[in-house]
């Protein structure tokens, strides 16, 4: 048995990652969570809730917020 950790660095503007649900179907829960909470677009989801996996009062509450310009 082996364990592999993968770290992905994404841009703050329009982050996109491919889905791994073709290999690990159970990943659909985490991938929908990434979309709803962090605003990360996951392409080719096997089961896509289209932003309704969680009922949230604010859209993508943990996504990076734009910073005001420095004067």
Q: Which residues pair with 16 in a beta bridge?
A: 41
Element (H, E) at 42: strand 41-43
Query: What's the pTM value of the predicted model, to 2 decimals?
Result: 0.77
Exposure b/e, 16-53, CB count within 10 A at least 16 = b: eeebbbeeeeebbeebbebbbbebbebeebeebeeeeb
State the average pLDDT for the chain.
89
The reported pLDDT for the residue numbered 15 is 92
Q: Is the pLDDT of residue 70 over 90?
A: no
Residues 13-27 pLDDT 10s? 889 999 999 999 999
């Amino acid at each position: 048995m082996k364990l592999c950790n993968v770290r992905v660095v994404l841009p703050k503007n329009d982050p996109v990652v491919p889905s791994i649900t073709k290999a690990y179907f159970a990943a659909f829960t985490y991938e929908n969570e990434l979309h709803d909470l962090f605003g990360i677009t996951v392409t080719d989801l096997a089961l896509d809730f289209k932003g309704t996996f969680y009922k949230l009062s604010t859209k993508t509450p943990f996504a990076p917020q734009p910073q005001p310009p420095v004067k």
